[in-house]
């Protein structure tokens, strides 16, 4: 049906970064009598709609976890746009602006996209150890969250090629392949985001695909021959904390952090970020965050990345 009161948004997607302020447009072309506007967010994991804010043009009420960070822009009397301050990773997704006017309800849908980076994640005890809930927690502990399918797909178009299957936010399991090869489903399968579909969130075990966005803060390297404990202390001496994996990926993606030195991270892994690939830095042709895995925490071979 044609929209009578709401203007069709010019752009159905709004692009932003973590920490920014984003506005989702919703503008009325006329003010019906006794109307209300209701903003809600559609959650992909259970297709539930969570109400964020309801207004009748004079008063408004905020609801739910987003409540301290949302307001109506209200730059004129026809403006019911939603402004989200200090955008967080979990704000990504679909929003609905609904005009409730007795019988004639209408709504527009908008998507909030965060610019960011997807990375595969497995724990120190090897591959395929996470059930869904553990994968979700692991990403959160690394300053990220489980990626959505759209985020994973976009990462694949940008070059993510990974042979191990991992959980994503909606409880399905996938792996992105660019170069078809024997150990990854064979040479005959076309490149793409391969899917195992929905899996048992308790019993089935895979890796995780995490997503992170821009940082408020800085990741830097401290030289030295430090074991894991000394690495943490070295960061604290600087008034910082040992960096999480998501923070290193974010610094690599958004601040072009480029270092040839392996450094400890909070999960006990050793990694280094490369933006300009060169011969003596791991030898791989593509930019990326390289990993030495999880060496013994007693080793005094590496420096540390601090945040």
Could you give phi then psi for residue 40, rounded to 5 degrees? -140, 165
pLDDT of residue 44: 66
pLDDT of residue 298: 98
Residues 159 and 59 occupy one common structural domain: no
- 125 assigned to some structural domain: yes
pLDDT of residue 262: 97
Residues 195 and 140 occupy one common structural domain: yes
- 99 assigned to some structural domain: yes
Tell me how many domains the chain contains.
3
pTM as predicted:
0.92
Residues 60 and 100 occupy one common structural domain: yes
Q: Which residues pair with 235 in a beta bridge?
A: none
- 124 assigned to some structural domain: yes
pLDDT digits over 217-262, tens only? 999 999 999 999 999 999 999 999 999 999 999 999 999 999 999 9
Other Cβ atoms less than 10 A from the Cβ of 16: the count is 20
Q: What range defines the domain where residue 122 resides? A: 116-213
Q: Domain boundary at 188, 213, 238, which?
A: 213
Residues 121 and 104 occupy one common structural domain: no
Residues 97 and 130 occupy one common structural domain: no
pLDDT of residue 284: 87
Average pLDDT of span 290-297 = 97
Residues 101 and 141 occupy one common structural domain: no
Residues 107 and 17 occupy one common structural domain: yes
Residues 192 and 230 occupy one common structural domain: no
CATH of the domain at 28: 2.60.40.10
The helix or strand, by DSSP H or E, that contains position 223, with its residue range, turns out to be strand 220-226
Residues 189 and 223 occupy one common structural domain: no
- 83 assigned to some structural domain: yes
Q: Which band of pLDDT confidence, cut at 50, 70 and 90, is reported for residue 102?
A: confident
pLDDT of residue 8: 93
CATH of the domain at 246: 3.10.100.10
Q: Domain boundary at 192, 213, 234, which?
A: 213
Residue closest to 154 by CA, chosen among 13, 9, 293: 13
Tokens of 52: 């964020």
Sign of CA dihedral 82, 254, 266, 202: positive
- 1 assigned to some structural domain: no
Q: For the chain, how long is the longest CA-to-CA vector?
A: 72
Residues 29 and 105 occupy one common structural domain: yes
Q: Domain boundary at 114, 135, 160, which?
A: 114
């Amino acid at each position: 049906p044609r929209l009578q009161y709401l203007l069709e948004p010019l752009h159905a997607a709004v692009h932003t970064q973590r920490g920014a302020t984003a506005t989702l447009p919703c503008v009325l072309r006329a003010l019906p009598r006794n109307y209300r506007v209701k903003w809600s967010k559609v959650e992909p994991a259970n297709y539930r709609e969570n109400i964020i804010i309801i207004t009748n043009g004079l008063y408004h009420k905020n609801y739910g976890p987003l409540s301290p960070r949302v307001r109506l822009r209200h730059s004129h009397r026809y403006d019911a746009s939603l402004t989200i301050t200090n955008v967080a990773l979990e704000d990504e997704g679909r929003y609905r602006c609904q005009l409730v006017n007795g019988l004639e309800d209408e709504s527009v849908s908008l998507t909030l996209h965060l610019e960011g980076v997807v990375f595969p994640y497995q724990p120190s005890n090897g591959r395929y150890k996470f059930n869904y809930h553990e994968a979700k927690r692991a990403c959160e502990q690394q300053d990220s969250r489980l990626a959505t399918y759209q985020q994973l797909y976009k990462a694949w178009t940008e070059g993510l090629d990974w042979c191990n299957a991992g959980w994503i936010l909606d409880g399905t399991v996938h792996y992105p392949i660019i170069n078809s090869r024997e150990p990854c489903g064979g040479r005959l399968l076309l490149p793409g985001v391969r899917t195992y579909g929905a899996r048992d969130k308790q019993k089935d075990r895979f890796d995780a695909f995490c997503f992170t966005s821009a940082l408020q803060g800085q990741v830097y390297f401290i030289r030295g021959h430090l074991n894991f404990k000394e690495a943490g202390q070295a960061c604290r001496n600087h008034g910082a904390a040992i960096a999480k994996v998501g923070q290193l990926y974010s610094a690599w993606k958004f601040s072009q952090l480029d270092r040839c030195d392996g450094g400890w991270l909070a999960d006990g892994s050793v990694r280094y970020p490369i933006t300009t690939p060169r011969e003596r830095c791991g030898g791989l042709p593509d930019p990326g965050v390289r990993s030495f895995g999880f060496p013994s925490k007693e080793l005094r071979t590496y420096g540390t990345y601090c945040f």
